[in-house]
Amino acid sequence: MMSFVNVSLKETVWNQYCFKLKSFYGMFRSIIILQVIAIGFTSLAGVASTGSGSMTISFNVQYYSADAVIAFTMIGLFINGIQMTTKPFREDDFVFVTNRLSQNLSNMAFLLTVSVATGITALLSRNVIEMIRYFLPEHSYMQDMDGPNTWYMVVGGGIATILYIAACSALGYLVGSLVQLYKGLVIIIPAVVIGYSVILGTQEGYIMGKIWAFYFSEHHLGLFAVKLICTIAICYGAAILLLNQKEVRNV
């Protein structure tokens, strides 16, 4: 007689999480590739150049920052969030011990890990950009307009960056889950988003503006963290509820 084994949810989630770190290694890589591309763009072209000044002076500033790297990472994680809900990724878990809850929780843990790791590399890539500029032949002397970052800023900014990235992956995961349940959304969601940003984006869409302000104009780090953590929790919570009755390998 083979003895029955009892496994706890925690243990299963941990096993799945470890498995994912190994098996979804490619996801890390695709994000890193995006970051390398963003670093390349940034180093060669700069993020933006603006001019402003006062009566006596006018600036022509060509900016370099890891903004593009962070933005690419956010979009990349959003797409990876969607990918995690697709059939091949979903079925990988069901080869071994799992239920829907443990699967979702381990996916969540995995995406958070990717967010933390890629958030840190995104912020550090600032130094790579600086280095590339420094060693370029016609190297222009980099100015640090705002003065050097304090450790306090680095840690706070790092947390904010990671939260932004994690929120994007959570949103992607929710969108992916919705698409898994209602296939029609695969056309409707992009159509609505693109349509909305094309039509209203030009004239400062009202809702978009509100959403934008809600996250990007929050200047208090604590409140910001609360907002983002709530957003992430809502996205994953909804996804877990949505996917809890989803069948696998069905056909």
Q: 190: which residues sit within 8 A by CB, 6+ positions away?
A: none
* Residue 86 touches another protein, criterion: CB under 8 A: no
Residues between 12 and 51 with contacts to another protein, criterion CB under 8 A: 12, 15, 18-19, 22-26, 28-30, 32-37, 46-48, 50-51
Token pair recorded at residue 147: 């003065």
H/E stretch holding 49 reads strand 49-50
| Cα 247 from Cα 249, distance rounded (Å) | 7
* Residue 182 touches another protein, criterion: CB under 8 A: no
Q: Binder to another protein among 137, 151, 184, 219 (CB under 8 A)?
A: 219
With contacts defined by CB under 8 A, name the span among 68-76, 168-176, 181-189, 232-240 that binds another protein.
68-76
173 within 8 A of 84, measured Cβ to Cβ: yes
* Residue 134 touches another protein, criterion: CB under 8 A: yes
| Residue of 166, 160, 13 whose CA lies nearest to 80 | 166
Q: Binder to another protein among 40, 109, 113, 218 (CB under 8 A)?
A: 218
How far from chain centre, in Å, is Cα 162?
8
Q: Binder to another protein among 140, 187, 230, 241 (CB under 8 A)?
A: 140
50 phi and psi angles, rounded to 5 deg: -130, 160
CB of 185 to another protein, least distance (A): 16
CB of 233 to another protein, least distance (A): 20
Q: Binder to another protein among 9, 181, 213, 229 (CB under 8 A)?
A: 9
Reported residue count of the chain is 251
